[in-house]
Amino acid sequence: MKILMLAPEPFFQPRGTPISVYFRLKALSDLGHAVTLVTYPLGENVPFPGLVIRRSPNLLRVRKVKIGPSLVKAPLDVLLSFSALRRVVTDRPDLIFSHEEAGWIGAFLGKLFRIPHLYDMHSSLPQQLDNFHFSKSKALKGVFCGLEKFVLKSSKAVIVICRDLLDYVAELGFGGKAVFLENFIDFNDFEPDPASAAEIAAKKAAISPEGKKIILYAGNFEPYQGIPLLIEAFARVKSPSVLLIVGGVKSEHDAARAQAAALGAADRIVFVEKVPPKQVSLYISLADVLVSPRVSGTNTPLKIYSFLKSGKPLVATNLWTHAQVVDEKIAILASPDPDGFAAGLTFALESEEARERGRAAKRMADVEYVYPNYLNKIKEALARTIG
């Protein structure tokens, strides 16, 4: 098929939705489809057979788009809609495949030109207004709710990435359109960046010269990620250990260091600025314990799937964002407070049972979280869309 994909994101950049878009494109290419991607004028091009990237004009000279809702996305989305309209008229695609708020554009163009529309629902946009503290306006949220229902009603099929969204779509009356596709694929499934044993040993010695166990957090510093909770909990851990935080930039690290210093834990925390996705596996290989201290939101963190594949003990906050994917058989679910999370970290560092849970997680992931399953879900979504 000729597929027109709309992604209102800086593509490609190594962050949540763009990573998901990347693997959607890989799957569509591997299935033999020709895809024209209309996206923002930011990011790096990626080469896939059959893929053409068309970027909307950067009339505002935008250099950065932050994660989550932002005012700068409004004019960018308007320009993206005109680019999408042009591609519909000139290319006459067989299917429109849209992400996030571009669902509004894709659904409208699909109805106007009688083209089947597939909506990739990475999150509920009205919920994002609350999660990112963007606006408390009931009127604005009402508009978003109305647009979301329009998209769900107008789409032939809807991809949902977590059980929370699956339940949400069902509650709205569109459960029959939903295809449940978790974002469990990562770069090391295809292009592993293996480090030698000597390289791993050298880096581990540099991070923990006394041979203390390493607790790893990898990700951004957005408030919902729970970095302050992690640092406060780690300061209460008595077991010999080092906290390694990979991600973020210097200014974010400075604020975290100040918190750690106030708690007397600054000398036990190592910060590494944001690294390419392929390099995350190196830091996972160094770690003895992996953490996801997320404190808000309902979507599943992408990192969870990579962590489960590693076979290392995982400590995550006992909130629905994690509990919809993991349980106490394959992870340590800790209370989202400093004492509770510190107890979870201590259990993971000291308990053989915690290590067995890590091994159980890997056994499950080796069966469930594999590329053929991902491809089958993509094929199911396409089949539902074209009927």
* Segments making up each domain of the chain, as ranges: 2-185+370-386, 193-368
What confidence score (pLDDT) does residue 127 get? 81
What confidence score (pLDDT) does residue 66 get? 83
Positions in the chain short of pLDDT 70: 131-133, 192-194
Q: In what order do the strands lie in the sheet with 269-272?
A: 269-272, 241-246, 213-218, 289-292, 314-317, 332-334
Amino acid type, 296 = S
Same fold, 2-185+370-386 and 193-368: yes
Q: Measuring CA to CA, which residue among 162, 193, 150, 119 is closest to residue 16?
A: 162
- 213-227 pLDDT, tens digit each: 999 999 999 999 999
Give the single-character DSSP code of 31: T
Q: Transcribe 47-69 into DSSP letters.
A: --TTEEEEEPP-TT------SS-
Beta-bridge partners for 316: 292, 333
Burial of 4 (C-beta count, 10 Å sphere; 0-12/13-18/19+): buried
In angstroms, the Cα distances linking 300 to 182, 294, 324, 325 are: 9, 10, 8, 7
Q: What is the CATH number of domain 2-185+370-386?
A: 3.40.50.2000
What confidence score (pLDDT) does residue 144 get? 83
Torsions phi, psi for 36 (to 5 deg): -105, 120
Domain at 193-368: CATH architecture: 3-Layer(aba) Sandwich (3.40)
What confidence score (pLDDT) does residue 372 get? 97
Pairing mode, strands 2-7 and 95-99: parallel
Radius of gyration of the chain (CA): 21
Amino acid type, 160 = V
